Structures are given as C-alpha cells and as structure tokens.
Chains A and B, each alone.
Chain A
Amino acid sequence: MIGAGAAVVGLAATLATPVLSRAADLVGRGVGLVIRHVSDAAVADLAERGAQVRTEVERLARELVGWMVPPVVDAAVAEMNLTQLVARHVDIDFLAALLDVDAVVARADLDAVIARVDIAAVLDRVDLNTIIDRLDLDAIVGSVDLDAVAAKIDLEAIVKRVDPDAVIARVDVDATLARLDLAAIARQVIDEIDLPEILRQSTGAVSSEAVREIRDESMLADEALARFVDRVLRRRRAASP
C-alpha cells in the first residue's frame, strides 16, 4: 500500500512538473524584458526578489501537491483493484526467481521463530486418529526385517538382568494350585494309562516266566533221574545229541 502511494505521488509530481516549468519560463521572460529596461541595481534587486518569489512559489506548489495528492491517490486506489492489477501486470515468478531464498533464510532467526511457536497448540490441532487410520501398518511391519532386529537383541544381557528369585517370589503358587483340579487331572491320567492292562501284562509276563522256569527245571530233573536209574540198573544209554 505504501509502495502504491509512493507511485501515485511520483505520478502526480510528473504531471505537475511541466506546469511549474511553464510558469517559471513565463516568469523568466517577463524578468528578461524588465532587465533590458531597468538598472543593474534594480535588476539585482528584482532578481533577488524573483528568486524569493520562485522559492515561495515552489514551496506553495509543493504544499498544493501535498494537499491535493493524498485524497486523489486514495480515491484512485479505491477505484482500482491493485491486487488484480499486480497479478495482471507483474511477473511474480520472475520476481521470485530474483529472490535469494538462502540469504533470506540465513537472515531469518529460525530459533526465535520456533520459540514463538506454541507446539502444544499445534499438537492439539493434529488429529492423530486420522493419521493412524491412513497408515498401512501391515505394509510397514512387512517391510521390517524382524530377523535382523532379533539378531541385534542381546538376549543374554537381558536374561542376566532378570532376577529369577524376584519373579518366583511374585508367583502365588497356592493360588495356582487352587485353580488346578488335581483330582480331575489324576483321573484323566489314570484313564489314559489303562492301569489294569499294564498290571495284566506284567503279571502275565512274570507268571509265564515262572512257569517256563518250573518246566525247564522239572525236565532237567527228569533227565537227571533217568540217568541215575540207568546207572543203577546198569542200562546202556545212548549219548545225548
């Protein structure tokens, strides 16, 4: 706005300058005529007075311009849409290309800017739920190399830091046992085992072993007795194979 005002003032000055110079020219010619017919002293006096008048006129002209121009400019600006005017006639891209952004940034005190920012208020305005909804967490997790992550974890160190006594001390064994139906578990185990079948098999194995032993021993005793009787009766006995 200030720039625009200055431009208007310059414009007015440009318009006023020919008027003023014409007036000065007329005055100069009149002064020349007088000088040809008057004495040097009078001329000098008149020149001095003329200079004073010229100075005064110039002052008055400036005052006049200063008095007239602002309302005129205001009226002109009110009539014109400066934004559209600038957009139509000014090549903003060109102007932007001329800007040295690095220099601007270097001049800016970013710390001060950040210090002025109310981060809490900014965060309050951020809708995290919306952001999270937009995130594809599966894709993110899929892109993570979990093996590499696990390889980097030093489990030994973690385990060393764990105090097993403290962990065990926190476990309520009585409550855990109270929750277990030990009788039902025992019944289930016994049902699965088929104890009678095991007893039957082991008893059968033991008894069949005992019977086999009795049979073997009795057969050997038969043989021994037969040999003895043969010897007593002096019976010839073929050699056993």
Chain B
Amino acid sequence: MSAQQGEGNAGLVTRLLAAAVDAIAVVIATAGLYLGATGIRFFWSPLRFQWPQPGPWTSTLTLMAVAAAYLTVAWATTGRSYGATLLGVRVLARSRRRLGWIRALLRAITCVLVPIGLLWTAISPARRSWHDILVGTVVVYDRYRDRGEHAMTPERTTFPMRHRSR
C-alpha cells in the first residue's frame, strides 16, 4: 500500500483537533444534561433538594454515552460532527457514501472505547484509524463543500494542497 493512497484523507493533526473540539462539545452537552436533570429534581422535590454528586464511574459512563449518541447522530445524518465541520472534514464510507445508522453507531462506540486508535492515522499510509479499518470508513477533507464547489465523489475528494511560499 503506497503513501499516495492517503491523499485526500484527513491526517492525524486535523482529526485530533476535530476530536478535541468534539470532546469539549460533549463535556458542555453533558454539563447541560446534568444541570437539566438537577433542575428537574429541584422542581420535583425542592425541600429535599441536594446537588447530585455522581461517582466517577457514573460520570465517565454518562460522558461516553453522550459522546457515542452525539457522534452517531452526527455521522449518520451529515457525516460531520461539530469538530469535523470546523476543521472541514467529513466521515464517509469507503465508497464515499454516507454512513448508515448502524455503522455510525459502531464507529462511535469504538471511538469512545478505544480513542487511542486514532493515533494509527499517522502510521497508516491511507490515513485510517483503527475505527476506520474496523468499520470500513474514511475521513476526508471536505472543506470545499462548505462553498458548494465540491461534489462528494471519489474523484473530487482529493484535495489539492496549498503550496506555501516562505
């Protein structure tokens, strides 16, 4: 497998940045969920109200569940989470079609359980993480679609690199 096969696929740095943005989004969403649940609890029994103090396991599991749900919905509908939108990348099937719900859910679960698999992107000549290999997906640069200039076809997903003059 030659290194050229990864041309047009997003590299590790972009994907890590997108993942970091998504992680922040998930934390904010989880905090919102927590505050919402607390508010409901306060209205349910205001006299006996105490701030809920979930244990580490509960917190971790909640975070993972929120992340999995968020990523599943994002990838199955548009192929883009918030981080992916910001960084201009999109998760597609190898056929460059949109993921189905099941494949999106599987990829989300593997991403949440084994996030370290993302690092394989740097080593993989096709710039694919463990999750991509396991579920049969690719992450492509798709920034031109923001301007309606780029069709989601295999031929057009090759992104021309910008040559910097320094």
Contacts and interface: CB of A to CB of B under 8 A. Distances in A.
Interface stretch (B7-15, B32-40, B55-63, B106-114): B7-15
Contacts of B48: none
Interface string A203-241: 000000001001110111111011001100101111010
B12 A225 contact: yes
Contacts of A235: 3, 125
A240 B163 CA distance: 10
B127 interface: yes
B128 to A, nearest CB: 13
Given A229-B123, A237-B3, A240-B161, A222 B87 contact: no
Contacts, number: 56
Contacts of A230: 3
Interface in B60-94: 86-88
A154 to B, nearest CB: 65
A236 B2 CA distance: 8
A222 B123 CA distance: 12
B12 A214 contact: no
A219 B10 CA distance: 8
Nearest to A235: B3
Interface residues of B, number: 23
Task: Tell me whether chain A's interface is mostly helix, strand or loop, or mixed.
Answer: helix
A126 B16 CA distance: 107
B141 interface: yes
A137 to B, nearest CB: 71
Nearest to A238: B4
A229 B122 contact: yes
Nearest to A208: B146
A206 B1 CA distance: 41
Interface of B: 2-4, 6, 10-14, 17, 86-88, 122-123, 125, 127, 141, 143, 159, 161-162, 164
12 contacts: A215-B88, A218-B13, A219-B159, A220-B164, A223-B11, A225-B11, A226-B11, A230-B3, A235-B3, A236-B3, A237-B3, A238-B2
